[in-house]
């Protein structure tokens, strides 16, 4: 940009000198002007200085006009940049300067566009985080308050009505069940906090994938049978090993299968598939009923997200299972996603094989 203004100045200087020379030659030729007024002819130094100042003024006027004509586009672009920066400072990030060429000014315009976009995205993320924090606090307050109120209600009945032993036992049993659910949710919150902060240490060891899946099937059998469902295993890989924390990985599949029995129990089967592709192993847990709507597929991994708005403990879980599962898989360097199928939902877990790295 400095070079451009220097060029404008030199051009304007050349034009100014040329114009003054033309005017001077014209006056000498046509007006018999010899170029100066002598002091002894006019008896005053003032007239001589004024005469020379007129030429200086003419030169400066021509120079300024020429420089303005050359540089007005550049100055206009600089003014647009200044207005854009002020616009961003006021909190309006919809700035988009037209940038053409490869000059310093074009680079400055591009930088202002990128700055406005980056600042706007940063503030948008900040607002999203604040909104999610408020929603999280509201949801956790609701989810913790509900069982507490139930426990308090049953204990109050026992204290006020002093029922017989059998009725007292039934009240205590309900309060105990509610307390266990409350304890589980609080422990889930602690686990999620440790996972997301990286405070939970992974005890990785080589895991035989085929044996692991057979173990998952055996442990899920009572839950599946209780809900009238069946877990079908696909073709098991031969001598495939995965380096992972077995306890945490088992928790991932327990959460996925629990969700399958809770929300897709109208379908009889749940499929558990596995395949190795290059240096990763891909697991799929596929249900065959009640497909999750497309607009909710990503949100189901949010903390405390529940597809039903009543947030009743009778119709759903804590809303932490899938979030914990994704955090566990992410801690292992893998990814957990969900996609809608023709008649259900497929949860896809991708994990790096032993000695490999994978970024989701």
On whether residue 103 sits in a domain, the answer given is no
Given 158, 180, 197, the domain boundary residue is: 197
Band of pLDDT at residue 183, cut at 50, 70 and 90? confident
On whether residue 52 sits in a domain, the answer given is yes
Least confident of 27-41, 138-152, 261-275, 294-308: 27-41
Q: What is the CATH number of the domain that holds 266?
A: 3.30.565.10
* Element at 97 (helix H, strand E): none
* Element at 278 (helix H, strand E): none
Q: What is the DSSP string of 8-26?
A: HHHHHHHHHHHHHHHHHHH
Both 209 and 183 in one domain: the answer is no
Both 88 and 149 in one domain: the answer is no
Mean pLDDT, to the nearest integer, of 264-273? Answer: 90
On whether residue 332 sits in a domain, the answer given is yes
Round to whole Å and give the CA distance between 357 and 360.
10
Both 220 and 330 in one domain: the answer is yes
Task: For residue 159, give its domain range.
Answer: 123-197
Both 170 and 215 in one domain: the answer is no
Both 297 and 159 in one domain: the answer is no
Provide the token pair at 278.
């290059």
Provide the domain count of the chain: 3
On whether residue 98 sits in a domain, the answer given is no
On whether residue 53 sits in a domain, the answer given is yes
Does residue 172 or residue 76 have the better pLDDT? 172
On whether residue 101 sits in a domain, the answer given is no
Given 197, 216, 239, the domain boundary residue is: 197
The pLDDT of residue 350 is above 90: yes
Given 180, 197, 214, the domain boundary residue is: 197
Q: What is the DSSP string of 183-235?
A: HHHHHHHHHHHHHHHT-SPP--EEEEHHHHHHHHHHHHHHHHHHTT-EEEE-P
The pLDDT of residue 8 is above 60: no
Mean pLDDT, to the nearest integer, of 214-226? Answer: 93
Both 127 and 261 in one domain: the answer is no
Both 186 and 215 in one domain: the answer is no
Both 209 and 335 in one domain: the answer is yes
Both 231 and 345 in one domain: the answer is yes
Q: What is the pLDDT of residues 332-346, one digit of tens each?
A: 999 999 999 989 999
Please give the pLDDT value at position 293: 86
Band of pLDDT at residue 254, cut at 50, 70 and 90? very high
Q: What is the pLDDT of residues 101-124, one digit of tens each?
A: 666 767 777 787 888 888 888 888
Band of pLDDT at residue 68, cut at 50, 70 and 90? low
Does residue 195 or residue 231 have the better pLDDT? 231
Round to whole Å and give the CA distance between 5 and 15.
15
On whether residue 280 sits in a domain, the answer given is yes
Please give the pLDDT value at position 191: 78
The pLDDT of residue 239 is above 80: yes
Band of pLDDT at residue 57, cut at 50, 70 and 90? low
Q: CA neighbours within 13 Å on the CB side: how many for 82?
A: 6
Please give the pLDDT value at position 72: 62
Both 235 and 322 in one domain: the answer is yes
Both 219 and 344 in one domain: the answer is yes
Q: Tell me the three state secondary structure of residue 175.
A: helix
On whether residue 104 sits in a domain, the answer given is no
Band of pLDDT at residue 40, cut at 50, 70 and 90? very low
Give the Å distances, CA to CA, from 39 to 33, 44, 49, 50. Answer: 15, 6, 10, 12
Round to whole Å and give the CA distance between 248 and 327.
10
Provide the token pair at 228.
């009238």
Both 86 and 156 in one domain: the answer is no
| Proportion of the chain above pLDDT 90, given as a percent | 25
The pLDDT of residue 347 is above 80: yes
């Amino acid at each position: 940009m400095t070079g451009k203004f220097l060029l404008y100045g030199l051009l304007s200087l050349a034009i100014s000198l040329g114009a003054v020379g033309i005017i001077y030659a014209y006056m000498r030729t046509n007006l018999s002007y010899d170029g100066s007024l002598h002091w002894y002819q006019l008896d005053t130094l003032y007239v001589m200085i004024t005469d020379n100042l007129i030429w200086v003024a003419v030169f400066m006027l021509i120079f300024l006009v020429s420089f303005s004509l050359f540089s007005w586009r550049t100055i206009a672009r600089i003014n647009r940049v200044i207005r854009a920066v002020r616009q961003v400072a006021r909190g309006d990030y919809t700035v988009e300067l037209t940038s053409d060429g490869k000059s310093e000014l074009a680079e400055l315009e591009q930088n202002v566009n990128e700055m406005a976009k980056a600042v706007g995205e940063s503030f948008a993320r900040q607002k999203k985080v604040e909104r999610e924090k408020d929603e999280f606090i509201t949801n956790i307050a609701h989810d913790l308050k509900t069982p507490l109120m139930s426990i308090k209600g049953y204990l109050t009945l026992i204290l006020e009505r002093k029922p017989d032993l059998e009725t007292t036992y039934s009240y205590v049993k309900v309060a105990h069940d509610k307390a266990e659910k409350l304890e589980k949710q609080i422990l889930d919150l602690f686990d999620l906090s440790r996972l997301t902060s990286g405070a939970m240490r992974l005890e990785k060891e080589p895991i035989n994938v085929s044996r692991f899946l057979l173990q998952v099937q055996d442990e899920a059998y009572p839950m599946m049978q209780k809900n009238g469902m069946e877990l079908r295993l696909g073709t098991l890989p031969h001598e495939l090993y995965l380096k992972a924390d077995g306890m945490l990985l088992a928790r991932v599949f327990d959460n996925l299968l629990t969700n399958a029995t809770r929300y897709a129990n109208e379908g009889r089967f749940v499929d558990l598939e596995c395949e190795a592709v290059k240096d990763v192993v891909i697991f799929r847990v596929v249900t065959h009923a009640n497909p999750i709507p497309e607009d909710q597929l990503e949100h189901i991994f949010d903390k405390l997200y529940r597809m039903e708005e009543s947030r009743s403990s009778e119709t759903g879980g804590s809303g932490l299972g899938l979030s914990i599962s994704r955090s566990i898989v992410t801690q292992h360097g893998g990814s957990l996603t969900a996609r809608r199928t023709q008649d259900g939902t497929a949860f896809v877990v991708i994990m790096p094989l032993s000695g490999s790295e994978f970024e989701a």
